Structure 1
């Protein structure tokens, strides 16, 4: 039995970093798009527009009931049909991730907005502020303290979920590690390093969420 050879990691480092860059890119874009769309969905669900609120609830509950890998497959095959032209795998997976994450961030926003006491809304209305002014200037800044730890936790889950893009042949970090492991026949070394990278990145995110939660916990 030969000893462990971690030199394979050094030799394949540029290749692995390219995959890691794609994982970070997907995480950042999906989080940004998910937060923007999720906020809109949460506002609609909490509004007095019953028809739109029901539609938004159906969207959120529908996406949360479907595995992400199935959503990726759907958009990989359906987006080109809907647009009538070919779409790259990266474009289709970005759309899938944004729409999927929006459902989860919507629930985070909804919980955060509902955590603000009704008196805050009433006081803002009494000062002459409208609904959206109250939301932007009074409610959201306070709700953000409650939501941010959960948003970071969801980003950690999202980073882990980027490994699913292998199903449409995109080369994220995990896929790159698998290619190196099989190409150089160094499965133990490569997967140990891959596990360590995921552990470090996700631990930093989890620790940040815990620190914020403890710092902002009511006395």
Structure 2
């Protein structure tokens, strides 16, 4: 079988639209996942047993089910929940439902990363700050979290790379991300193998370069 990649260059504008969708979904998913994961980490470390239990249950649940199931479930569940709340049919696109799924799912993993980063900070710093009259919230916001995020930045970036790769699963709900755009264009032109190989190379190059950047950053932070 001979491969002909000449049709890829004319198709690049359409493929770039798919890549823009992938990058947007990944960036918003990372941002939302980190914010929600940080809140969950603080809940898990709270002295309130109810909050700690809720957060622990959340993390255990989402780390025990496949992401593909979460994407499919939210695609069908989000419109139903909105209709139950508002009493009206609220159209929810595939992008919005996938974004909610990624945020909810990745928050469980970001939570454990943030929790480990906070626990890596000596507890004496928290006690010293509270002795100076700072509240718990001020201690976390001004002293603990800035140091913790510096320590856990490489792990957060590694999890972000995984999320970037996982965005390819949105094909199940018909969202035209980069992989789906490449697959569709390949089917239309009768060259599915060429376009899938090209998509695989692009994913590999982006993930590999990002991994090298994470390793370099990890070495700099360890000095």
Partner residue, 2:149: 144
Deviation larger for 178-187 or 112-121? 178-187
Aligned counterparts of 1:80 and 1:189: Cα–Cα separation in 2: 37
Aligned counterparts of 1:73 and 1:183: Cα–Cα separation in 2: 26
Partner residue, 1:7: 6
Partner residue, 2:140: 135
1:27 is paired with a residue whose SS is helix
TM-score by structure 2 length? 0.93
Partner residue, 2:112: 107
Aligned counterparts of 1:195 and 1:81: Cα–Cα separation in 2: 35
Return 5+ residue gaps in structure 2 as ranges. Answer: 84-88
1:35 is paired with a residue whose SS is helix
Q: Matches of residues 9-88 of structure 1 in structure 2 within 5 Å? A: 9-84=8-83, 85=89, 86-88=91-93
Deviation larger for 178-187 or 29-38? 178-187
TM-score by structure 1 length? 0.95
Aligned counterparts of 2:151 and 2:217: Cα–Cα separation in 1: 9
**Residue from 89, 92, 108 that aligns with 2:97:** 92
Aligned counterparts of 1:109 and 1:20: Cα–Cα separation in 2: 29
Q: CA deviation at 1:187?
A: 3.1
State the Cα RMSD in Å: 1.3
Are positions 1:203 and 2:208 aligned together? yes
Aligned counterparts of 2:52 and 2:108: Cα–Cα separation in 1: 14
Aligned counterparts of 1:82 and 1:118: Cα–Cα separation in 2: 42
1:182 is paired with a residue whose SS is helix
Return 5+ residue gaps in structure 1 as ranges. Answer: none
